Each structure stands twice: as structure tokens, then as C-alpha cells.
Amino acid sequence: MRRALLLALAGLLSLGAAEAPEREVQVRFLMGTLWTVEAEGPGAEAALARAFAEIRRLDDLLSTYKPDSELSRINRTAATQWAPAGPETLALLARAFDYAETSGGAFDPTVGPLVEAWGFKHQDFKRPPKAALEAARKQVGYRHVTLDPKRGVRFARAGMSLDLGAIAKGYAVDRALAGLSRDGMVAARVDAGGNQGVFGRPPALDTWLFGIKHPREEDAALGVVGLSAGGISTSGDAERGFWLDGVRYGHVIDPRSGMPAQHVLSATVTAPTAEAADALSTTLCVLGIEAGLAYLEAHHRAARAIFVEPDGSTGRFRVRPQAGIDWRPARAVESYDVN
Ligand code: AMP
Ligand code: MG
């Protein structure tokens, strides 16, 4: 009897040891930002290495900071001739143009010349003189770009360029997650700063929690959003922007006016994919709360948004969570990742 009990106990213990989940977390700097990837499952370490290799591959393909990337090569040649483009780049460009079309140009992957005019590309922030702004505006407009599955990309105007900075990280998050899932991971989180994606269950919690950063204080959060699967992305003026005469100018530009978006301090979006969350958070920064919610209602009903806006002249902030999003104000929680 006693022996049977001992055997049963030993069995339980060994079962426990066999089931101890293999969990890995690694951090790398890629695409100009810090990536944290964590995964749970057999062979997690090797799966993580493959995920980082995939992110690096996409950085090499889509970066506008790397002169040898496919996108840089397209930008150098498409104004004078058809620039060949691979199917993956063309497909991502086509999806980016779809966001441009449906949002009435609030999202626009040709916004580069304006981003540069405001000094956001090389961190030499400035308010551009009127003539420079007008010149840059003429070089912006997704309608002046043609995508062709056979010939590639062609710009109708000189000085144009493509910038996937508002959607490529989300796409890379999705690709990394898909690879981790194919590799047999039961749960994973891919975090590229403002862009994240998850599947499976987090350790010791029912759902993944993401902090919404305080827009003006380092290392402070306004609260957290719960998300069980898909992507979450925050866009705003906090991560890249500058102050001039008491006004904060952020790196999300309204392509229609040429001015940095001013409606909200940040927009956070949850969506079925990290790519959608990425593109939509940028779009909603430009559109603001009313037009942004109407846009989601019309085109992206599976997405949910949270906005942070200035609260009049009080110097405080107001959080505006859309109905249906799992929003938990800061007091109610103890631990979270700051998104
Ligand atoms: P995100 O952090 O995803 O909101 O992306 C911001 C980056 O996307 C900027 O640094 C620019 O490179 C680019 N960008 C700025 N404004 C827009 C816009 N209206 N549409 C698309 N991309 C933009
Ligand atoms: Mg974005």
C-alpha cells in the first residue's frame, strides 16, 4: 500500500517534470527598435532564433534606412523607370495602399518627404518654412504611385518615396508569430515597442496585459488593455516628437495638411493582426476620435481603439476607451508590460 502510494507520488513528480513548459525570452535591437520575443513550447530557444531571423530578413527587405533594402532600391529608381519588386513587398504595399484608400489618405505610405521636412527622419526636428512644406506636399500622395504585379512600382512624380514605417513592424510581428506557431509553440508574445502580438496563454494569467503609457511621464502607465490573441499597437507623439513654443509636434503626419497630427496624444488599437493594429493606430492618430471611430465602424469592425486626449486646459489627460475593449485603469492591476 505504502509502496503503491510512493510509486504514485513518484509518477506524479515525473509527470510534473515532463510537463514543465519550456519557456524562452530574448531581446534584440532590430528595425530601429528593441524587440522582446517570448515563447512557450518544445524547442522554444531554436524557435526564437528563427523568429529573430525572420524579423531581420524583413528589416533587410523593407527598411528605408538600409540603402540595400528592396524598398530603398525602389525609392531610388521608381521615379524614372519601373522598379522591380518581389511579391511579398508588392503585397504589403498593396495592403498599405488599401488603408490609404479607405481612410481618405489619412494613412499614406508616400508621406516620407513630409516626415523628412519636419526633421523626423534624421532627428533634426524643425518647423519647415512654408515653401519647403508646399514642395514636400507635392511629392506626397499614394494616388501618384502605380503597383503592377509584373513590372513593379512606378512613381508619377520626382522626389516621391515609399515609407512602410507605420505598418512594417506590425507585419513583422505577425510573421514572427506565425513562425512560432508553425514551430509548435503553444503561446508567444512578440513585442516591438509600440507594436505587439500574442497567441496562447501568458504565464500565470488568463489573458495578456498591455500597459498604455502615460503620454508625458516616463515609465508611468494610465492602465492596461487585456488581449487574448491578435495585435495591439500604440501611435502618438510620445516616442518621437519635439516641443516648439509650447506645442508638441509628433512624427505622425496628416498627409492631407502636411502638419503633424494634433487631435490626440495617442491612439491604441487592438485588431486580429498586428499589421492591422499598426496601420490603424497610425491612421486613428491622424483622424482623431470621432472620424477614427467612424472609420473603424465602416471598415474594421473587429478592431477596437483607446485614445488619450488632452483634458482642456487642466494639463491632465483623458482616456477614451471604445466600447468592447478590455480596458483596466491603472489602479486595478499589479503587473503589466508597457506598450
Ligand atoms: P507608427 O509609429 O506606426 O504610428 O508609424 C509612424 C511612422 O510612420 C512615422 O515615423 C513615419 O515614418 C510614418 N508616418 C507618419 N505619418 C504617417 C501617415 N499619415 N501614414 C503612414 N505613415 C506615416
Ligand atoms: Mg503604425
Helix 70-77 to helix 87-102 angle (10° resolution) is: 70
| pLDDT (average), residues 86-94 | 98
CA 155/CA 139 separation, integer angstroms: 10
- The atom number, within ligand 1, closest to the CA of 96 reads 21
Give the closest ligand to the alpha carbon of residue 97.
Answer: 1
Contacts of 231 (CB under 8 A, 6+ apart): 170, 173, 174, 195, 196, 197, 270, 271, 272, 273, 274, 275, 276, 277, 278
Share of the chain above pLDDT 70, in %: 91
At 54 the pLDDT is 98
Q: Which of 18-27, 44-53, 59-68, 293-302 has the lowest mean pLDDT?
A: 18-27
CA 74/CA 111 separation, integer angstroms: 15
pLDDT of residue 41 exceeding 70? yes
CA 209/CA 179 separation, integer angstroms: 22
Whether 196 lines ligand 1, by a CB cut-off of 6 Å, is no
Q: pLDDT band at 310, cuts 50/70/90?
A: confident
At 272 the pLDDT is 98
At 168 the pLDDT is 98
- The atom number, within ligand 1, closest to the CA of 240 reads 10
| First-last CA distance in the chain | 55
Mean pLDDT of the chain: 91
How many alpha carbons fall within 13 Å on the CB side of residue 58? 22
Cα 306 versus chain centre, distance:
15
| pLDDT (average), residues 186-197 | 96
| pLDDT (average), residues 72-93 | 98
At 285 the pLDDT is 97
At 18 the pLDDT is 54
Give the closest ligand to the alpha carbon of residue 235.
Answer: 1
| Ordered DSSP codes for 149-194 | TTTEEEESSTT-----TTTHHHHHHHHHHHHHHHTT-SEEEEEETT
At 122 the pLDDT is 86
- The DSSP letter of residue 162 is -
CA 106/CA 307 separation, integer angstroms: 17
Whether 177 lines ligand 1, by a CB cut-off of 6 Å, is no
Q: What are residue 232's DSSP bridge partners?
A: 196, 270
Q: 281: closest CA among 224, 236, 327? A: 236
Q: 31: closest CA among 223, 184, 221, 165? A: 165
| pLDDT (average), residues 202-218 | 88
| pLDDT (average), residues 185-208 | 95
Whether 252 lines ligand 1, by a CB cut-off of 6 Å, is yes
At 156 the pLDDT is 98
Pocket perturbation via mutation, ligand 1, pick of 120, 140, 163 by most ligand atoms within 8 A of CB: 163
CA 17/CA 21 separation, integer angstroms: 9
- The DSSP letter of residue 332 is G
Q: Give the type of residue at 268.
A: T
Q: Whose grid coordinates read 503633424?
A: 260
At 334 the pLDDT is 56
At 5 the pLDDT is 45
Q: Give the type of residue at 129.
A: P
- CA angle 261-266-270, nearest 5°? 120
- The CB density around residue 290, as the number of other CB atoms within 10 Å, is 9
At 219 the pLDDT is 79
| pLDDT (average), residues 260-266 | 94
| pLDDT (average), residues 136-164 | 98
Give the residue, 95 or 7, on which the prediction is more confident: 95
At 214 the pLDDT is 82
User: Strand 208-213 and strand 337-338: pairing?
Assistant: parallel
- The DSSP letter of residue 143 is G
Q: What is the pLDDT of residues 91-128, one digit of tens each?
A: 999 999 999 999 999 999 999 999 999 999 888 888 99
- The atom number, within ligand 1, closest to the CA of 233 reads 3
Can you tell me whether residue 275 is helix, strand or coil?
A: helix
Give the residue, 332 or 80, on which the prediction is more confident: 80
Beta-sheet strands, E only, within 156-207: 187-192, 195-199
CA 122/CA 144 separation, integer angstroms: 25
| pLDDT (average), residues 53-82 | 98
At 34 the pLDDT is 96
Whether 255 lines ligand 1, by a CB cut-off of 6 Å, is yes
